[in-house]
Amino acid sequence: MAGPPRLTPQHPDPLPAGSTTGGRATIIDVAAAAGVSRQTVTRAMNGMSGISAATKERVLAAAERLDYRPSRFGRGLVTGGDHQLGLVVNDLRNPYTPQLASAVFRLAAEQGWNVMLADVDLASDADRMVQALGSQTDVVIGYLGSRRDRWRELLGTVPMVELDPYSEPPTAAVWIDPADAVEVLADHLVATGVRHPVVLDNSSPEHTSVRGILMMDALQRRGYLPELVHAEHGTAECGAEETTRILERRRRQDAILAFNDVMALGVLQACRRAGVDVPRDVRVVGVDGLPLGSLVSPTLSTLAVDLDEVAREALDLALGMLAGELPRQGDAVQRTVRHRLLLRESA
Amino acid sequence: MAGPPRLTPQHPDPLPAGSTTGGRATIIDVAAAAGVSRQTVTRAMNGMSGISAATKERVLAAAERLDYRPSRFGRGLVTGGDHQLGLVVNDLRNPYTPQLASAVFRLAAEQGWNVMLADVDLASDADRMVQALGSQTDVVIGYLGSRRDRWRELLGTVPMVELDPYSEPPTAAVWIDPADAVEVLADHLVATGVRHPVVLDNSSPEHTSVRGILMMDALQRRGYLPELVHAEHGTAECGAEETTRILERRRRQDAILAFNDVMALGVLQACRRAGVDVPRDVRVVGVDGLPLGSLVSPTLSTLAVDLDEVAREALDLALGMLAGELPRQGDAVQRTVRHRLLLRESA
DNA sequence: CTGAAAGCGCTTACAG
DNA sequence: CTGAAAGCGCTTACAG
């Protein structure tokens, strides 16, 4: 798109114009080449009425010859353009992410919104991506994690809805809260006779995750002495590795609560390989409620979250802020979606 | 974005301007409110030099008060804007899709491109989505399937790269070709003593998929009398259902070749439930090579495709066409990426 | 059916 | 440090 000043009008050679000379053909170039006015070009390009077939054909031919493509900016400036939503996610390869994205896309599309996606996990230049996202969209929704404040700056005036914030006080946010479900889960573990649970967190020894803290606390309040294991990545591989290590110890743990479903899938795999029966010897629970969990054996019990609901709340906040119906800050722009315990076979 | 004419300059009340009156504040409104010129507003908003701290603060305050957000069109028109890629996919909930999207995103980001995604599978108004995608992007890549020709029209002058086309002759395209891998697979089945293979296609009785045809043909040429089963959806559930039906028959099939990995996962699950040992009783093979396949037990053998390679070729074509280095049609804009047999435990 | 005029909202030189 | 002028590429009334 960017480029030096455009060609002087006529350029009658058959080469794709604008390619080597730098700079794309504009409506003016096409008008000149076809010997018509600008609005006649507009009529031809946009299939509008009020143009003779012959003229239209001539204009289209000129456009094709010059490799003319209308500028979305020129057009957007006058038409107002479409609504654009920006979505910031962490890793499209974790099945949770497309599940969420899919919900956002579907709901956004229903309201005529387009969605631009930025996967900041894969990116070396995440800051640039977020800034670019902001400059192309009307509002941004997403997982901001620890970079929230910096990205808030980069986004400038673009309203932002944070998903599952690490900490208060975000501006607008949808909290995804496992607290209630964790209590129900802890009760379930007691009821099924679990003695030695371990919490497999995705975190570092310095910073246990909120999720991990809630689990540890709920277990301790019920008289357990739960073990806390920190896994560096929230992947199946990492979940499997840590599990293998856990199972090698003398003292037999009988429940593993993983940070997310993908890790829990790794846990199940490691148990299988070690000849440990799930749920008889060890109960396994994940978090997220991915459909994927019912494809493995045993099927995965999990703290499920309704991602349609998350998407709906986020979109509602975003559109509300845009319409000026909501403040940019405060309690009115905080929503909460809660996990619920989904028992399948593994626990 | 769209809306009636904007406010007359001054609007000193503390309400978020432009919200109820319709129409957003422009740079002119902010300039008037702050008592400065337009380019001073530009300087303040964009953190440029050549502006006093006091003026900057005053401008920013006015902008905040008026809820001013610069138009991306006004800016894009003069700056040239960022490069935007459109990606059309079929269902983000099939793990194949985010895997591909992830590769496209990563490679695109490396070159400073942003990506807009349209999931046409979920959409009731897919045509509108594709058209919107075209109007917001410089080039479109994606799965077009049977709607290719219609969407070609809608896209107008926006160059398009088709992924895995159903049929010739597309314009620019990346073919994803399982033919070689299917031959290798068929040899493998012979070598391992398979007698009665069944091809579980995602298709209707009227239209067997290319993939299905290739499999049937390769098997027949080796003397097999393969059975062809049509599953309506390419999902795990559908794969499981059809498998249950297959296993209930008297004559024992000893290999199931699924249309894709997700279906194959359903096949594995159905086998497990029916007490059929894989691979001893039945060998199972999928197509795609999803990492997911190594999380189940037994791990899934598959015809894998390198999605990084697919993304790379597609992007290469797209950027080449945009730069005018490639023709819009013909052999030069056709690339092929081939599957390869990836043996894990299930076959 | 066609074109001259005005304007969308912003930034980039250029003058002061 | 600040502003008047010009222009980015397009479309929307309006006249002919």
Q: Check: CB of residue B117 under 8 Å from CB of residue B141.
A: no
Report the SS3 class of residue B188.
helix
CA distance A339 to chain B (A): 20
Q: Which residue is nearest to nucleotide D13 (CA to C1')?
A: A39
pLDDT less than 50: residues of chain B: 1-22
End-to-end CA distance of chain A: 55
Q: Which of B119, B157, B324 sits opposite A105 (nearest CB)?
A: B119
A24 closest-nt by C1' vs CA: D9
Q: Which of B67, B106, B118 sits opposite A122 (nearest CB)?
A: B106
What does the pLDDT read at residue A171? 82
Peptide bond into A279 cis (omega under 30): yes
Q: What string of DSSP letters covers A35-87? A: TS-HHHHHHHHTT-SSS-HHHHHHHHHHHHHTT----HHHHHHHH---EEEEE
Interface test with B, best of A92, A121, A171 (most B CBs within 10 A): A92
d(CA B197, CA B284): 10
Report the SS3 class of residue B339.
coil
Of residues B128, B167, B117, the one with CA closest to residue B151: B128
Q: Check: CB of residue A302 under 8 Å from CB of residue A342.
A: yes
Burial of A52: CB neighbours in 10 Å, binned 0-12, 13-18, 19+: exposed
Residues whose CB is less than 8 angstroms from the CB of residue A85 and which lie 6 or more positions away in sequence, other chains included? A104, A108, A113, A114, A115, A116, A137, A138, A139, A140, A141, A315, A318
Of residues B134, B79, B335, B123, the one with CA closest to residue A106: B123
Residues whose CB is less than 8 angstroms from the CB of residue A344 and which lie 6 or more positions away in sequence, other chains included? A293, A294, A298, A299, A300, A301, A302
Among all residues of chain A, which has the CA nearest to that of B76?
A73
What does the pLDDT read at residue A323? 82
Q: How far: B68 CA to C10 C1' (Å)?
A: 13
The answer to whether the predicted template modeling score (pTM) of the entire model surpasses 0.85 is yes
Residues whose CB is less than 8 angstroms from the CB of residue B250 and which lie 6 or more positions away in sequence, other chains included? none
As given in the structure block, the two tokens for residue B87 are 């990606």
Look at A69 and B265 and tell me if their CB atoms are within 8 Å: no
Average pLDDT across chain A, whole number:
89
CA B173 to mean position of chain CA atoms? 14
> How would you classify the pairing of strands B227-231 and B197-202?
parallel
Instruction: Please give the helix or strand (H or E) that residue A186 lies within, else none.
Output: helix A179-191
> Residue A184: what residue type?
V
Look at B133 and A156 and tell me if their CB atoms are within 8 Å: no
d(CA A117, CA A123): 12
Give residue for tokens 């049937």: B216
Residues whose CB is less than 8 angstroms from the CB of residue B167 and which lie 6 or more positions away in sequence, other chains included? none
What does the pLDDT read at residue B60? 92
Give residue for tokens 């509108």: B128
Q: What is the tens place of the pLDDT at every residue in A136-188?
A: 899 999 999 889 999 998 888 899 999 999 887 668 999 999 999 999 999 99
What does the pLDDT read at residue A279? 94
E-assigned strands of chain B?
83-89, 113-119, 139-142, 160-163, 172-177, 197-202, 227-231, 255-258, 283-288, 301-304, 334-338, 340-342
As given in the structure block, the two tokens for residue B64 are 């905040």
Look at B82 and A118 and tell me if their CB atoms are within 8 Å: no
Q: Which nucleotides of C are covered by protein (CB under 7 A)?
A: 1-13
pLDDT less than 70: residues of chain A: 1-23, 169-170, 250
Of residues B215, B179, B211, the one with CA closest to residue B194: B215
Q: What is the tens place of the pLDDT at every residue in B201-258?
A: 999 989 899 999 999 999 999 999 999 999 999 999 999 999 999 999 867 899 999 9
Look at B117 and A118 and tell me if their CB atoms are within 8 Å: no
Q: Check: CB of residue B27 under 8 Å from CB of residue B70.
A: yes
What does the pLDDT read at residue B49? 85
Look at B265 and A295 and tell me if their CB atoms are within 8 Å: yes
As given in the structure block, the two tokens for residue B45 are 């908003």
DSSP, res A8: -
d(CA B74, CA A26): 17
Q: Which residue is nearest to nucleotide C4 (CA to C1')?
A: A37
Instruction: Please give the helix or strand (H or E) that residue B12 lies within, else none.
Output: none
